Structure 1
């Protein structure tokens, strides 16, 4: 005897099964978000709070000063927004490299050389070229110098297979020393006793936003990150770069020129690092002093990883990190905490981030 099947009941069961599956997927994604993103951030702040208590500082007071001086005051908020500009260009630089499977750890050297060349040329062009042309030339030269400084690691990686972690770090150290040497010798301002480049007048720097002290470099940094994110995720060129990073053998089999794409990745990444240096000088500082090295490049690396190489997520993290940097400087003066304690917090974040990734991978293996 044939059993009748009610189509409506089958559809209901299928819908219920699909809804349950979707709910499970959403729950799994939310749990992973807690494990690899929210968890490490909370744990890092708790670990840093313990360290503060051990040295006799109230962590609530310390974090309270950070929030008050960086987000809840107009001056602090403007300083936070201005600090974001060079960090955003560095985010764009690292997103290109990391998504393409390239470990460009030489951004600090590229940053400083870009800053020095912009600081050395822009003041000389004032009065010779229109204001916008002075800034444009400064940015272009900074990007070019940053890209040139990556040629040696790029060639060694593309044609000899040399590990770029070592070569980019070595070139970064050389770049930092060369930048300081250029400031002391070739590009030194002869009218000052302190070794520094000539100073670009405030009126000739990047314009401010809405009658505030916020440099318009912030806008260009945001545009750079968004364009890079779209390039790496929505264009065929970005797909080629990501394919080379994911599987060079498959990329070669598909007819792609792996060495040329590797060179292009280095050039673009280092060029944006040079732009970061130019944005800091042409927008805020106006000159470069000898031995100046804010080490922004290494600071931004954990933010890019924490954002999972996503442009919008990196922008949000850069904002909070800039607030942390500005606020911690004020807290250090008020509470007697070393300004480098921000690096302790970043180190704690890296440790907790690594533990979160390990826990997530361990859970995934168990589920399989």
Structure 2
């Protein structure tokens, strides 16, 4: 009887460290958000704005009204695809910071494919699939050069992907202004896909079906990286390339696969943004979603389900702040200030946590 009682009590001490570890991970993710909101609240006070009123208005417009909630959920679609894109690269130990260029080129090419197909009377499903495929392929191809330079020349991918991003943004603008410009408009933009021909809305609402596409992508990437042999190979290459080589893994091919998959998802995000929300691409348009999502993915610790939660929070903040800016006289881009503060706090938090690990003797 005594042995049985000791057996049943055994899980208690074992579960306590797990609980502490889980709470620590939650604190490292939620803590920087709370600190960033407090700091930006101080900035609002300095601007003569009541931060509680400002944040309350954001929640009201981004979450509490039917139109605001639908706009928030629609905004999540492309952001989730970008989160999936970043998760692939970061979990594999690589930095794809060229997502904005991949996103814009995917959007432009998707728009250039969708409008003519629609004019030719192609079925709506074929038009949408062709546009998404075009955006996906374009994004993937734009990352091949940084992938090759990383795989066989060991050139820092942070530099090459950012350079390719600048080139991609410039090329996208050139294509909009010179190659794919709609001749019927005076402002440079691609031809507009009619609203009724875009990605269908969900359940009679105004929520774009880009949302389930993004959710599926994030969950699929999370499953691939944590539950499949391919994901294990990618994580092994990222953790220790030399050990991966000694284990017989094709490091070069896997590196290119990571970049191609990551960039393809960013290109798909651009396509979904155009055929699900915007309808066309205007000259000099760049929402810079990729760099905005980077801190969200880090806060989520590369966990897909946590990434969904943080993207939702950011979408509420983004949609609500647009209304709050008009209502309370706050600059339109104050959300970017919040993201910048969040990045700084996140970096400081990581530094403190790393020092704590070093003191504890954890490598």
TM-score computed with the length of structure 1 as normaliser = 0.94
Mean Cα displacement is larger for which, 105-114 or 205-214? Answer: 205-214
Mean Cα displacement is larger for which, 122-131 or 354-363? Answer: 354-363
What is the CA distance between 1:269 and its match in structure 2? 0.5
1:267 to 239, 255, 260: 260
Q: In 2 relative to 1, CA 125–355 (structure 1 residues): closer, same or farther, beyond 3 Å?
A: same
Say yes or no: does 1:224 pair with 2:224. Answer: no
1:354 to 347, 350, 354: 347
Report the secondary structure of 2:106's partner residue: helix
Tell me, in whole angstroms, the C-alpha distance in 2 between the residues paired with 1:23 and 1:102: 34
Q: What is residue 48 of structure 1 aligned with on the other side?
A: 40
Say yes or no: does 1:174 pair with 2:157. Answer: no
Q: What is residue 246 of structure 1 aligned with on the other side?
A: 239
Deviations 1:272-308 (A, max 9, x none): 0000000000001110000000000000000111001
Q: What is residue 49 of structure 2 aligned with on the other side?
A: 57
Say yes or no: does 1:97 pair with 2:76. Answer: no
- What's the RMSD between the two structures over aligned residues? 1.6
Tell me, in whole angstroms, the C-alpha distance in 2 between the residues paired with 1:29 and 1:317: 17
Mean Cα displacement is larger for which, 298-307 or 120-129? Answer: 120-129
Deviations 1:240-295 (A, max 9, x none): 11111111111111111111111111110100000000000000111000000000
Q: What is residue 182 of structure 2 aligned with on the other side?
A: 189
Tell me, in whole angstroms, the C-alpha distance in 2 between the residues paired with 1:14 and 1:179: 65
Tell me, in whole angstroms, the C-alpha distance in 1 between the residues paired with 2:356 and 2:19: 16
2:132 to 139, 145, 151: 139
Deviations 1:19-38 (A, max 9, x none): 3353244234424532x122
Tell me, in whole angstroms, the C-alpha distance in 2 between the residues paired with 1:173 and 1:118: 19
Q: In 2 relative to 1, CA 290–229 (structure 1 residues): closer, same or farther, beyond 3 Å?
A: same
Tell me, in whole angstroms, the C-alpha distance in 1 between the residues paired with 2:14 and 2:91: 31
Tell me, in whole angstroms, the C-alpha distance in 2 between the residues paired with 1:24 and 1:255: 36
Q: Note if contact 1:32-1:360 (Cα within 8 Å) is conserved in structure 2.
A: no
Q: What is residue 283 of structure 1 aligned with on the other side?
A: 276
Tell me, in whole angstroms, the C-alpha distance in 1 between the residues paired with 2:355 and 2:229: 34
Report the secondary structure of 2:330's partner residue: coil
Tell me, in whole angstroms, the C-alpha distance in 2 between the residues paired with 1:255 and 1:365: 32
Q: What is residue 336 of structure 2 aligned with on the other side?
A: 343
**Which structure 1 segments of 5+ residues have no match?**
1-6
Tell me, in whole angstroms, the C-alpha distance in 1 between the residues paired with 2:332 and 2:175: 28
Q: Larger Cα Rg: Structure 1 or Structure 2? A: 1
Tell me, in whole angstroms, the C-alpha distance in 1 between the residues paired with 2:295 and 2:245: 31
2:109 to 106, 110, 117: 117
1:70 to 54, 62, 65: 62
What is the CA distance between 1:63 and its match in structure 2? 0.2
Tell me, in whole angstroms, the C-alpha distance in 2 between the residues paired with 1:151 and 1:28: 39
Q: In 2 relative to 1, CA 174–20 (structure 1 residues): closer, same or farther, beyond 3 Å?
A: same
